[in-house]
Each structure stands twice: as structure tokens, then as C-alpha cells.
């Protein structure tokens, strides 16, 4: 990181994003930059604007103003072509999976390879099978979403995003729609990804899990990033940070860690 | 050269269509009422009737929904007089035949909505009403019907809108309602496009006004949870 | 009424009446397909189009749903098409045939109704799938084609079957402009044989049977394209 000659260009950078929805400012001049292989975790109370931020980052919700740069190049959101090719390079995982209900697991992973990347059916199938194997679902390839469990659906969604060879992944509370016993299987896939060097921005309430992966925590509140720093700094004993107070509250509620100490948080 | 359109409309077309409009109303209103009465009767019988009655009501509905209205109109007007029972037969004048045909057909469709409305009320509510000490009759009139009516209203109202459009079929059996009058005027003046397009505007107005009234009625009766499915 | 006479008349009329089935089938196929071909794009425009386009589609739907079929038949056959077919270059393309007019009227009206069936189906799909498709880099057109329409069309089959039986019944009105379908044949044979009762029954039975066949066929189709566990609310 400490390359003396030139600072590394961040993979994805956002500058002063502003978004107003239904009259209130959901994003209030948010900026961020993330380097290759880094993991950023967004935390904050419900309604803070985490989902909005993630969706603005790939223009699913066009920001009212601000810039987004991929590897130093600003994206022109008016150009449809540029937008589509940008989105191919930014994978997204949704809280409620959003699998295509009329397509089997395999077809879900394959469809964009064929339609967007223009791959042939054989190549696309081969690739899709490989991605499904990577998330541990090789044997479920022919099942339709309706017959998959929540954890399996989310893993298919991850495979679908990975198949596009994204440079960065945006994950919006990937486990919060899952039953507790299914969370583990998804988290372990995410952990593998992070260890494999995937760049990620993830909104989550899984504090202890993300603390073990994240290079940086960003604490959002009312559309602003109010604190950011390494998990150790923010969650450290007596740091007095908002992040720590928030985590303590979550831990209390979920019984994740009795005293809300950073050490316990890190489990 | 013939007279310009607006002159033609003022002097000839509008007065003629106005007369036709009254005849249309004379056909539509009684057949709508007949349809609602038949529809409610058949609908209630199909839900609460004894088995043979239910079966009969079901037959009536599938017969009248399964055949084209023109065939039914034809039957009541041309064929009915041929059915002689003990030397007697029933001969209807065109307006009567039209009202009977529209009412019978509309009733079959109406009964579907009534039935759906009745079925949508959970049995538990009737039980709850009985548990409060109501008689069955009280439970039906004060608990079931008010709810079923709200549920059925949008469908039944739509059916009346259909009836307005299909009342044009009365012209086939020589009733001089809107369409019949327009056909006569078109024949006499050879101004088909103008006459029939104007006729279309009349129906559009009728249908739009009826839809608007229906909306008002639904809003007036609306209770949370009984909103009409927005289309 | 003598039953054996009525029965014989009905039996003798059968071949002639059944000859009308071809015309009726032609009317229905033509208008269903025209309605489908126009209804799908109309519904997409009404859901995803810009505001003026959505308005225009609503206007179209309002027009064709508000004017009775009979009146439309007169407008098209005696009015518009009669006039168009006299224009130079348009004389010999069959614009003035009753069949053309009937298919056009039934098809345009059906497209208005079908567009509302598809629109309802599109709107009943969970919204996230369109987002997910966009997030994968699909253009809106690609997303609609590969994700939205395949699901919406499946969900539309019950509505479609209803539309079929409505079209079948409305097609009987084509006799008023001279298409020799079932109703037209029933009328003419009833007036020559003076047996309107049995003729009405025969026609009624034929229409009844056609309704049944079509509805059955569409429900077979529905089963054929069914996806495991897929319900109207999307995945369970
Ligand atoms: N379409 C919309 N119209 C108006 N307000 C909206 C809209 N979408 C979101 N909001 C508001 O924007 C704010 C941020 O929403 P967002 O979904 O980004 O929060 P979040 O941090 O993701 O919360 P959660 O943890 O519950 O997912 C909320 O106050 C929400 O009410
Ligand atoms: Mg969120």
C-alpha cells in the first residue's frame, strides 16, 4: 500500500453523492474510495441510507449529484452503453436475492453471460457450473428458485454476480433475510471471497463477522458517514465511538456478545 | 356537396341520437335492474342453496356465459314464439326481448361476483356473530351482506358498464336505440364515418360517466381493507 | 312443437352450421394474434414508457374498451375501410372485406384488453428482479425480454383464456357485416326452415363446445409451461 512513487488508484470512488427521495435527503454528500482487495463494511441504524448508497454506486438509483469513478475514470451515466458495461464490472447482492423466478439456478447464473457478455451456450454453461461449484451448489443447478432454501438462493445470487468477473462486489445485507441456521453457509462463501482478494463493500448487521474481514468500517447515520476507520480503532475498548455504542446495542439485542466489548465483538 | 359536419350534427344527427339515447336508457336501466336481481338470487343460491338448486343455478350461469349474447337475443326474439306449450306461446316485442336477453345474460355474470363476494366472507365471522347471540338471519343481513356487497361492487359495476356497450345489440332486433337510430341515419345520409364515429363518442361518454359514478359509489362505501384493486 | 321435426332440422343443418366454424376460428385466431402482437408492446410501454407514452396507451385502451364492438364494426367496415379501399393503391388488397374488418376490430379491441392483462402480470412480479438484471449489466430492453416477459406471459395465461372466450362470443357479431360464421348461418337457416329454436340450440352447442376446447387447450398450455413451485406471487 505504501507505494512511495504513486498512490494506487482506487477501484471504485464516489465523490459527494447526494440523493433525495420523497423530499428527504437520504444521502447527504457521501464520499468513499476503495482500493483493490479491500473490504469496507457499512453499518448504521435502519434508514441510515446504506441500501440507497449501494444502489447509487451502480446507478440503480441515479444520484442527484456527485461523481462515481471506476479505476479513476468517471462514469457518464447518460451513456447507456457505458452504464451497462460499468454494471457488469460491479457485482451486486441483494438482501432479498432477486433471483429470476422462471429460470433454474444454472440458468440464473448463465443468462447474463449469454445475453450481456454474448458468450455461447456451452461456454456459459461451463462457467455457470464452475461458479455454482464454487458456492457449493453444483448439485442444485437444475432447481428453480422456488425449490431452493434462502441460503441456497443467496449463494446462487452470489454465483450469478461472480460469473460476470466483477472488479468489485456490493453486498446489501446479504444475510438479513435468512433464518439464523442458514446465515453461516452464506457468510462462509463471503469469507472465502474476501480471502481470495475480492474487493467488497458490504452493508450488514453482522458486526463480529464483518469485523474479522473488514479493512474499514463506515458508520452511517441520517445519510452521512459519521465515522470511519479500522474495526480495531472503532470498536476498541473505550474508543467512545458511535460505532461502538451501536455495536454494543446490537450485541445486546442479539446476545452476540454480553458486554459489548471489542474483544467479544470480534469473536 | 353535403352540409358541413357540425351543421349536420346540429340539425340531424344530434336530435336523432338524442331520441335513440332515451330508448337506450329505456333498455339499459330495466335490464341492469333485472340483471342485478337475478344475479343476487343466483349468486346466493349458488353459495347457500340446497344441492339441486345449486346445480340448477350453476347450469343457468354456464349456459348464459358460454353462449354469445347475440344468439341469446336471437333466441328470445325470434325463437321464443315458436315454443308452444299447450297451444300458448310467448311473443315479446323487441324492447321486451332485449331487456329479457340482457337481464338474463347480465344476471349470469353478476352472480359470479356475488358468489365471490359471499365466499370471501370467512365462516368464522358468521360463527362469531352467532356466538354474540345473533340469529342466522341477523348474521347474514348485518354481517355478511354488507361485506359481500362491497366485495362484489366493482365487478357488478363493471358488468353494468358492459351492459351499456352490449345494449347496442338491441338494434339487431329492430329496437331504435342509439345504434339503431345511427344506422338509419347513416343509410339515409351516406355519411357513415361521421355518423358511426359520433355514435362511438356517445357510447364513450356513457361508459365514462358510468365508470365515474361507480368510482364515486365505491369511494363512498370504502372501508379500509375493502379498497378496490387499483388497475 | 314437434320434437322429431325439430331434431331432424337440427341434424340436417349441422354440416352447414359447422362450415361456419372455420370462419369463426379464423376470426378468433387472427384477432387473438393481432391482440397479442399489439398488446404485449402496449403493456410494456404502459408500465415502463415515459409519461406521454403511458398517457397515449391509456387513451388507446379507453377508446377501444369504451366503444361497443358492434359500433366499431360499423365504423371500420362501413366507414374507415370502405373509404380507405377506394384510395389509389389500396383498392385490391382486401381492405373492404368483412373478414378483414372483423379481425381488425376484434384484434384491436382485444389488444386493449390483453395489454391490461399483461400489465397486471408485469406489475405483479417482484420489482427486485428488474434491478438484479440491471445490476448484471443488462439493458432495460434485455431485462424486459429475458426476465420480465417470460414470467409475465406465463402469468397471463388464465387471463388469456378468459379473453379467448370473450372473443369467441364477440366474434358472433361479425355476422352483422356479412362474415358467414356460425351466427350468420344460424340466422339464414332458421329463416328458411322456420325452426329457429333448434337452430339456436345447435349454434349454442357449437359455441359452447368451442369455448370448452379453447379453455381446455390453454390450461394444457399453462401446465406445460409451468415452473416448479411458481405461483402468481412469484416464488413462494
Ligand atoms: N422511494 C423512497 N421514497 C422516499 N423515501 C425513501 C425511499 N426509499 C428509501 N427512502 C428513505 O430513505 C432512507 C434510507 O433508506 P435505506 O433503505 O437506504 O436505509 P438502510 O440504511 O438501508 O436501512 P435498512 O438497514 O433498514 O436496510 C430511509 O429513511 C427511507 O425511509
Ligand atoms: Mg437496507
Give the tens place of pLDDT for each residue, B76-117. Answer: 998 888 888 887 888 889 999 999 999 999 999 999 999 988
- Residue A228 backbone dihedrals phi, psi, to 5 degrees: -150, 155
Across residues C143-148, what is the average pLDDT?
93
Does the pLDDT at position A265 exceed 50? no
Helix, strand, coil percentages (3-state) for chain A, rounded to 5, are 40, 20, 35
Number of H helices, E strands in chain A: 10, 10
Does the pLDDT at position C103 exceed 90? yes
Query: What pLDDT does residue B225 have?
Result: 61
Chain position carrying cell 363518442: B201
Tell me if A32 sits within 8 A of A22, measured CB to CB: no
Give the tens place of pLDDT for each residue, B186-227. Answer: 999 888 888 999 999 999 999 999 999 998 988 887 766 665
CB contact under 8 A, B82 and C194: yes
Query: What pLDDT does residue A130 have?
Result: 95
Alpha helices in A64-213 (DSSP H): 80-89, 105-115, 121-134, 150-162, 180-195, 207-213
- Residue B93 backbone dihedrals phi, psi, to 5 degrees: -80, 165
Q: Is the ipTM of this complex over 0.90?
A: no
Chain position carrying cell 358510468: B210
Give the tens place of pLDDT for each residue, A225-246. Answer: 998 888 888 887 777 778 888 8
A54 CA to centre of ligand 2 in angstroms: 9
Residue from B67, B104, B159, B198 whose CB has the most chain C CBs within 10 Å, to mutate: B67
The reply to whether ligand 1 has any atom less than 6 angstroms from the CB of A50 is: yes
Query: Which helix H or strand E contains C232, and what residues bound it?
Result: none
A95 CA to centre of ligand 2 in angstroms: 8
Across residues A106-130, what is the average pLDDT?
93
Which residues of C fall within a CB distance of 8 Å from A92?
A: 132, 135
Does the pLDDT at position B8 exceed 90? no
What DSSP state is assigned to residue B88?
B
- How far apart are alpha carbons B138 and A111 in whole angstroms? 59
Q: Is B7 left (phi over 0), alpha (psi -120 to 50) or beta?
A: alpha
Give the tens place of pLDDT for each residue, C3-20. Answer: 787 788 878 888 888 888
**Touching A: which chains, 3+ CB pairs < 8 A?**
C
Residue whose Cα lies nearest atom 30 of ligand 1: it is: A47
Residue C236 pLDDT class (50, 70, 90 cuts): very low
Angle at C186 between CA C73 and CA C214, to 5 degrees: 70
- How far apart are alpha carbons A168 and A162 in whole angstroms? 10
Percentage of chain A modeled with pLDDT above 70: 91
Model confidence, pTM:
0.83
| Mean pLDDT, all residues of chain B | 87
Query: What pLDDT does residue A263 have?
Result: 36
The reply to whether ligand 1 has any atom less than 6 angstroms from the CB of A48 is: yes
| Residue A24 three-state SS | strand
Which member of A112, A143, A145 has the closest CB to residue C137? A112
Tell me if C182 sits within 8 A of C20, measured CB to CB: yes
- How far apart are alpha carbons C119 and B31 in whole angstroms? 32
Chains A+C touching (3+ CB pairs under 8 Å): yes
Query: What pLDDT does residue C234 have?
Result: 39
Residue A229 pairs with which residues in a beta bridge? A217
- How far apart are alpha carbons A38 and A29 in whole angstroms? 22
Q: A155-179: buried (b, 16+ CB within 10 Å) or exposed (e) per residue?
A: bbbbbbbbbbebbbbbbbbbbeebe
CB contact under 8 A, B68 and C78: no
CB contact under 8 A, C1 and B166: no
Tell me if C74 sits within 8 A of C5, measured CB to CB: no
Q: Is A240 left (phi over 0), alpha (psi -120 to 50) or beta?
A: left
Does the pLDDT at position C79 exceed 90? no
Across residues C111-122, what is the average pLDDT?
94
Q: Which of A19, A47, A64, A218 to mutate to test the pocket of ligand 1 (most atoms within 8 A of CB)?
A: A47
Query: What pLDDT does residue B142 have?
Result: 77
- How far apart are alpha carbons C200 and B71 in whole angstroms? 7
Give the number of the ligand closest to the Cα of residue A47: 1
Torsion of CA C199, C204, C205, C210, to 10 degrees: 130
The reply to whether ligand 1 has any atom less than 6 angstroms from the CB of A22 is: yes
The reply to whether ligand 1 has any atom less than 6 angstroms from the CB of A10 is: no
C202 CA to centre of ligand 2 in angstroms: 63
Does the pLDDT at position A6 exceed 50? yes
Amino acid at each position: 500500500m505504501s507505494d512511495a512513487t504513486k498512490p494506487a488508484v482506487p477501484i471504485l470512488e464516489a465523490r459527494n453523492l447526494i440523493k433525495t427521495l420523497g423530499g428527504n435527503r437520504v444521502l447527504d454528500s457521501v464520499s468513499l474510495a476503495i482500493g483493490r482487495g479491500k473490504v469496507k463494511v457499512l453499518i448504521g441504524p435502519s434508514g441510515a441510507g446504506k441500501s440507497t448508497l449501494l444502489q447509487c454506486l451502480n446507478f440503480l438509483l441515479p444520484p442527484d449529484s456527485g461523481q462515481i469513478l471506476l479505476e479513476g475514470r468517471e462514469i457518464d451515466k447518460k451513456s447507456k452503453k457505458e452504464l451497462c458495461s460499468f454494471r457488469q464490472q460491479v457485482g451486486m447482492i441483494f438482501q432479498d436475492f432477486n433471483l429470476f423466478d422462471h429460470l433454474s439456478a444454472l440458468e440464473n447464473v448463465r443468462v447474463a453471460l449469454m445475453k450481456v457478455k454474448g458468450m455461447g451456450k456451452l461456454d456459459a454453461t461451463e462457467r455457470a457450473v464452475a461458479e455454482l461449484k464454487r458456492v457449493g451448489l453444483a448439485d442444485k443447478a437444475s432447481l428453480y428458485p422456488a425449490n431452493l432454501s434462502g441460503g441456497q438462493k443467496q449463494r446462487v445470487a452470489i454465483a450469478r454476480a461472480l460469473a460476470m468477473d466483477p472488479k468489485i462486489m456490493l453486498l446489501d445485507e446479504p444475510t438479513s433475510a435468512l433464518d439464523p441456521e442458514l446465515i453461516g453457509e452464506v457468510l462462509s462463501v463471503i469469507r472465502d471471497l474476501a480471502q481470495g482478494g475480492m474487493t467488497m463493500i458490504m452493508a450488514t448487521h453482522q458486526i463480529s463477522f464483518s469485523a474479522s474481514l473488514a479493512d474499514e468500517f463506515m458508520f452511517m447515520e441520517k445519510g452521512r458517514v459519521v465515522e470511519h476507520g479500522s474495526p480495531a480503532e472503532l470498536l476498541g475498548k473505550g474508543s467512545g465511538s458511535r460505532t461502538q455504542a451501536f455495536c454494543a446495542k446490537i450485541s445486546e439485542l442479539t446476545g452476540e456478545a454480553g458486554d459489548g466489548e471489542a474483544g467479544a465483538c470480534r469473536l | 356537396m353535403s352540409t358541413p359536419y357540425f351543421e349536420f350534427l346540429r340539425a340531424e344527427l344530434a336530435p336523432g341520437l338524442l331520441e335513440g339515447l332515451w330508448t337506450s336508457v329505456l333498455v339499459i336501466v330495466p335490464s341492469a335492474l333485472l340483471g342485478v336481481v337475478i344475479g343476487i338470487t343466483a349468486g346466493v343460491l349458488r353459495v347457500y342453496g340446497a344441492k339441486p338448486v345449486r346445480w340448477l343455478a350453476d347450469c343457468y350461469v354456464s349456459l348464459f356465459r358460454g353462449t354469445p349474447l347475440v344468439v341469446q337475443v336471437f333466441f328470445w326474439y325470434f325463437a321464443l314464439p315458436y315454443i308452444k306449450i299447450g297451444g300458448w306461446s310467448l311473443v315479446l316485442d323487441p324492447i321486451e326481448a332485449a331487456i329479457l336477453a340482457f337481464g338474463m345474460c347480465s344476471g349470469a355474470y353478476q352472480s359470479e361476483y356475488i358468489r365471490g363476494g359471499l365466499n370471501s366472507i370467512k365462516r368464522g365471522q358468521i360463527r362469531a356473530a352467532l356466538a354474540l347471540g345473533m340469529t342466522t338471519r341477523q348474521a347474514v343481513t348485518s354481517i355478511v351482506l354488507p361485506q359481500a356487497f362491497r366485495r362484489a361492487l366493482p365487478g357488478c359495476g363493471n358488468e353494468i358498464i358492459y351492459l351499456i356497450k352490449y345494449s347496442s345489440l338491441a338494434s339487431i332486433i329492430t329496437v331504435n336505440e342509439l345504434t339503431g337510430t345511427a344506422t338509419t341515419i347513416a343509410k339515409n345520409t351516406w355519411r357513415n364515418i361521421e355518423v358511426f364515429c359520433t355514435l362511438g363518442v356517445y357510447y364513450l361518454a356513457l361508459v365514462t360517466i358510468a365508470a365515474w359514478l361507480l368510482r364515486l359509489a365505491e369511494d363512498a362505501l370504502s372501508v379500509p381493507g375493502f379498497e378496490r384493486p387499483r388497475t | 312443437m314437434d320434437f322429431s321435426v325439430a331434431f331432424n332440422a337440427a341434424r340436417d343443418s349441422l354440416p352447414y352450421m359447422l362450415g361456419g366454424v372455420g370462419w369463426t376460428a379464423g376470426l378468433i385466431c387472427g384477432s387473438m394474434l393481432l391482440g397479442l402482437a399489439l398488446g404485449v408492446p402496449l403493456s410494456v410501454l404502459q408500465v415502463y414508457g415515459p409519461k406521454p407514452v403511458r398517457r397515449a396507451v391509456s387513451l388507446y385502451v379507453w377508446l377501444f374498451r369504451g366503444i361497443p364492438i358492434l359500433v366499431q364494426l360499423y365504423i371500420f367496415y362501413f366507414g374507415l375501410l370502405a373509404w380507405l379501399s377506394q384510395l389509389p393503391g389500396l383498392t385490391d388488397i382486401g381492405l373492404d372485406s368483412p373478414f378483414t374488418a372483423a379481425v381488425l376490430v376484434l384484434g384491436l379491441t382485444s389488444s386493449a384488453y390483453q395489454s391490461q392483462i399483461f400489465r397486471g402480470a408485469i406489475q405483479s412480479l417482484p420489482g427486485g428482479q428488474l434491478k438484479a438484471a440491471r445490476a448484471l449489466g443488462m439493458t432495460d430492453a434485455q431485462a424486459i425480454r429475458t426476465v420480465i416477459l417470460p414470467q409475465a406471459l406465463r402469468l397471463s395465461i388464465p387471463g388469456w383464456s378468459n379473453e379467448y372466450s370473450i372473443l369467441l362470443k364477440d366474434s358472433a357479431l361479425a355476422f352483422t357485416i356479412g362474415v358467414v360464421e356460425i351466427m350468420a348461418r344460424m340466422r339464414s337457416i332458421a329463416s328458411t326452415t322456420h325452426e329457429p329454436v333448434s337452430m339456436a340450440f345447435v349454434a349454442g352447442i357449437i359455441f359452447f363446445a368451442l369455448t370448452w376446447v379453447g379453455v381446455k387447450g390453454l390450461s394444457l398450455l399453462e401446465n406445460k409451461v409451468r415452473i416448479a413451485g411458481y405461483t402468481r406471487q412469484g416464488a413462494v
